[in-house]
Chains A and B, each alone.
Chain A
Amino acid sequence: MVPLTGYLLVGAFLFSAGLYGALARKNAIAVLMSIELMLNAANINLVAFWRYGDTPADLTGQVFAVLIIALAAAEAAVGLALIISVYRERKTVDLDELDLLAG
C-alpha cells in the first residue's frame, strides 16, 4: 500500500511547479498551463483524502474533483478566448508588454 504522504507530495510538487510557472513565465498561454497544473494538484489532494479518509462511501471528494475538472475546462476555454482576442488587438501575448492599465 502506498502511504498517503506519497500522493500529497506529488500534489505539493505539482502545485509549486505550477506556482513558479504562473509567476515567472512571460507568455500568457504558459501561465494558463501552469494554472492547470495547480488545479490538478488540488484535485490529487481531494481524491487522495477521499480514498484515505474514514468513509470512502461518501463521495464528496470525487464529486468536487469532477466539478474542478469541469471548472478547469470552462476556465481554459474563456481564458484562451481572452488571450486570442487580446492577441488580435495587441499582436502579442507577452504579459510583460501587456500594460493596458499602465497608461
Chain B
Amino acid sequence: MLSQYAFILIMAAIALVLPLAAIILGHILGPRRPDAVKNAVYESGVETIGDTWVQFRAQYYLIGLVFVVFDVEAIFLFPIAIAYSQLSLFAVFATIFFIVLLVIGLLYDWRKGALEWQ
C-alpha cells in the first residue's frame, strides 16, 4: 500500500513543480515595468477606500456549518456502505437512524430559514 502512495507523493511533487516552473518562466519571459498606477488595486477605476476586509454576512458561515456536519456524516457512511453486504438488520437500522438524526437537523435549519439567502 505504501508504494501506491509513493506514486501519489511523486505525482504531487511534479504537479507542484510544473505550475511553479510555468509561472517562473512567465516571470522570465515577460517584461517587467511596474509603476504605482499599474500596481494599484483594481476597483473599476476608482481609488480604493477603506479596508478590504469589509464585514461579511454570517450566511457564509452558516453554509460552512451545515457543510461540516454533512461532511462528517459522509466519512461515517462511506465505510458502512463498503461493508453493507455484511451488515445485520440492526446495523442497517442504526445507520438509517443516524441519517434521520441529521435530516432532522437539516429540517430544523430549513424551518428556521438558515438555508435561505436573505
Contact = CB atoms under 8 A, between A and B. Distances in A.
B76 A70 contact: yes
A69 B61 contact: no
A66 B58 CA distance: 29
Contacts of A70: 72, 75-76
B94 interface: no
B76 A66 contact: yes
Interface stretch (B9-17, B22-30, B40-48, B63-71): B63-71
Interface residues of B, number: 9
B61 A73 contact: no
B63 to A, nearest CB: 12
Contacts of B72: 69-70, 73-74
The DSSP consensus for interface residues of chain B is helix
Interface stretch (A5-13, A22-30, A75-83, A94-102): A75-83
A52 to B, nearest CB: 15
Contacts of B65: 77, 81
B75 A69 contact: yes
In this complex, the member of A69, A74, A77 whose beta carbon has the largest number of chain B beta carbons within 10 angstroms is A77
A80 B75 contact: no
A73 B69 contact: yes
A40 to B, nearest CB: 16
Contacts of B61: 80-81, 84
